[in-house]
Amino acid sequence: MKKLLVALSCLVVIATLSAAKEQGGISPSYGNLLSKLRVSKSSFNPQKGDEVGVYFTLSKGAKVEVNIYDPDSGLIRTFQKEFSDSGEQGLIWDGKDMDGRVVPDEAYYFAVTAEEDSKTKEIYDPTTFSGGVEHDITSADADPESHTINYKMPEMGRVMVRMGIQGGPLMNTLVDWKPRVEGMITEYWNGRDKDNLVDIYDHSKFKMIITYLTLPENSVIAFGNKQLTYREYKKSVGTKRPVKQDRPRSVGGKISPHYALARTKDYVPDVKMTFSKTDGTEPDGTIILKGKTLVKVELADEDKRIFQDQQFEICFFLDYDFFAEDEAGYTPFNWVWDLSNVKEGDHLLTVNISSFKDQIGLLSRKVRVVKE
């Protein structure tokens, strides 16, 4: 026990000295003047008038500032209040930003500063000691009759749910790093691929992967805003909003590379696939091909600004089996497909374009190969 206490003391000294250098002598630590931070609920619907309280304990009267931040550390709103008494205190947030708009569906966190005088100041910043640790969920129940997937979140986190074929393509990204509360979670899925062409749930090599990364302590998830997405919101506020100051961070565990990526840039891009030479298209969308065709894979227009200059591993799969690849390609990508070695009949062509930041765009098309 003594050895452990010595080790922890060393860590505290290092963090304090680093922070003092960064902030001119003020360490982003807390626990004496300011302690026992908590939020009243883990999720709320501000569209329906729900509110969330952030509570804390003061050892003596102090001036308190509560800053609310989005997942990219952009400032959403600031509350300031002078408390004359010690004990538990609190402030209420109605889910609106500094412009009076209801925030989009996302996870938000609180940074709290308490100041007794110019020499006594404590800062609670949950991003310095929590958030970003990656875990896998290894047990989930899929019910094809109710079209649901049920799994248990041991804590609040940001979730990715992917479906694919073992040794083959990724076929669907059901949840793309969305925040989820602690407890039992139900996701709705019809058992099919992203393009709703085939049933992959019954495939003998079907595989589902559920991964999550932890959110900063005392995060709260806002939901219910159907009018504005987070990416649209961030685009509308541009760069005019302040960003939280970086502070020294010490978090144990495997940190997900997705944690440091902006939510406006870390998502599954939409993919387009076209064929330069076809013999027509069936009413159900099946594309008729013969001889050779040029297959063009590119990003959807709205995603080009984010992903256009990135390298991708581009893989083609025919009927779930690997068929061709380029390990370091760019989009738009052109592939000459010689159909002479493909059996006549109906096939499923799937493309996965995987960035080196683990963002995977995918698309499937039904094709009918006709021999000359």
Could you tell me which of 100, 58, 41 has the C-alpha nearest to residue 76? 100
268 has a pLDDT exceeding 90: yes
Q: Where in the chain is the domain with CATH 2.60.40.10?
A: 271-369
List the helix and strand counts (H, then E) for the chain. 3, 24
Instruction: Report the CATH number of the 25-128+221-251 domain.
Output: 2.60.40.4070
**Superfamily of segment(s) 271-369:** Immunoglobulins (2.60.40.10)
Query: Where does the pLDDT of residue 329 fall: very low under 50, low under 70, confident under 90, or very high at 90 and above?
Result: confident
Element (H, E) at 272: strand 271-275
Question: Mean of the pLDDT values across residues 304-320?
Answer: 88
* CATH 2.60.40.4070 intervals, the chain: 25-128+221-251
DSSP letter (8 states) at residue 48: G
- In this prediction, residue 304 carries a pLDDT of 83
* pLDDT score, position 163: 96
Specify the CATH number for 134-214; select among 3.20.20, 3.10.20, 2.60.40, 1.10.730.
2.60.40
Q: What is the mean pLDDT of residues 304-311?
A: 80
Residue 246 has pLDDT above 60, yes or no: yes
Question: In 3D, which of 207, 215, 203 has the Cα closest to residue 130?
Answer: 215
User: Which has the closest alpha carbon to 128: 288, 10, 245, 290?
Assistant: 245
The CA-atom distances, in angstroms, between 58 and each of 26, 29, 80, 94, 110 are 18, 14, 15, 23, 16
Mean pLDDT computed over every residue of the chain? 89
pLDDT per residue as tens digits for the range 62-104 = 999 999 999 999 999 999 999 999 999 999 999 999 999 999 9
Task: Specify the pLDDT at position 238.
Answer: 81
Residue 134 has pLDDT above 60, yes or no: yes
* Residue 180 in this model has a pLDDT that exceeds 80: yes
pLDDT value at residue 280: 87
- Over residues 164-172, the mean pLDDT reads 96
So what's the pLDDT on residue 331?
Answer: 87
Q: Write out pLDDT tens, residues 139-156.
A: 999 888 899 999 999 999
